């Protein structure tokens, strides 16, 4: 469906939201909680907003994953190559499922997806798997990563924390788990983005503005990394997620 171009003021709002999202992703994660409502406010339906946000934020994910690629690794009896292949396939499956979901149905699902993503973010921010937890078997880790990749291609909120939990339970050291989840996030979204590029659902003007802003915000976030209070930032993301969830429920079911 063709839409009129957003006004200059709306483009400025999208740019500001993207700068915030890029910095937020660099500092604590959760940048899509900023870009998604901004895109909906600009006039996009929920599905097109989700697709456009995914495409726009993808370059930043690639940059992050590439920067830490030397630390990325597999777990015992589970190679990084296997995790990459699983993430590629799962991301593609999730993207296809999203494209066959009617926009109205997705709009009704969106509050529940954001609620889940907010819960995953809160859990990952303030709770860690106990050191005494039983390690995951390779087949279990593969199945969980495939499920996360499907969810990542479909929506993606909170995937970083979900993968950190799985990789930590697979007994990867924290630093290696963080680098590995960054690589896998880029991989699963890479296949999703490739499919979205040919879907006709990407709003390129908005995506371009968001991409530029997110890159600038990411650079600012890297500078702020040693200065900002990460706990406060994570609490802010959770507060945004709760507010967004309530607003989306009201919008979808009024």
- Looking at residue 185, its pLDDT comes to 85
Mean pLDDT of the chain: 83
**Residue 253: both structure tokens together:** 């079911």
CB 218, CB 60: distance < 8 Å: yes
pLDDT per position as a tens digit, 187-246: 898 999 999 999 888 999 999 999 999 888 877 776 766 666 767 777 877 887 888 888
Nearest to 153 by CA among 80, 85, 54, 40: 54
Domain ranges of the chain: 9-253
- Spans in the chain with pLDDT lower than 70: 1-4, 27-29, 68, 124-125, 127-133, 222, 224-228, 230
- Looking at residue 125, its pLDDT comes to 65
Q: What is the DSSP letter of 201?
A: -
Nearest to 160 by CA among 114, 125, 195: 125
């Amino acid at each position: 469906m063709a839409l009129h171009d957003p006004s200059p003021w709306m483009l400025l709002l999208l740019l500001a939201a993207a700068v915030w999202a890029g910095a937020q992703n660099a500092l604590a994660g959760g940048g899509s909680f900023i870009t998604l409502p901004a895109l909906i406010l600009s006039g996009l339906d929920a599905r097109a907003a989700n697709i456009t946000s995914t495409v726009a934020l993808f370059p930043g994910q690639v940059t992050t994953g590439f920067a830490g690629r030397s630390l990325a690794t597999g777990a015992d009896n589970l190679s990084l190559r296997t995790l990459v292949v699983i993430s590629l396939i799962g991301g593609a499956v999730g993207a296809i499922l999203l494209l066959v979901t009617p926009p109205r149905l997705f709009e009704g699902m969106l509050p529940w997806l954001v609620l889940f993503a907010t819960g995953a973010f809160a859990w990952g921010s303030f709770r860690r798997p106990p050191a005494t937890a039983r390690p995951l078997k390779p087949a279990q880790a593969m199945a969980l990563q495939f499920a996360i990749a499907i969810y990542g291609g479909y929506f993606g909120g909170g995937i970083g924390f979900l993968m950190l939990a799985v990789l930590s339970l697979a007994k990867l050291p924290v630093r290696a788990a963080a680098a590995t989840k960054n690589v896998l996030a880029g991989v699963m979204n890479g296949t999703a983005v490739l499919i979205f590029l040919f879907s006709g659902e990407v709003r390129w003007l908005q995506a371009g503005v968001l991409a530029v802003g997110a890159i600038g915000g990411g650079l600012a976030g890297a500078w702020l990394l040693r200065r900002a209070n990460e706990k406060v930032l994570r609490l802010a993301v959770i507060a945004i997620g709760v507010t967004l969830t309530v607003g989306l429920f009201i919008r979808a079911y009024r």
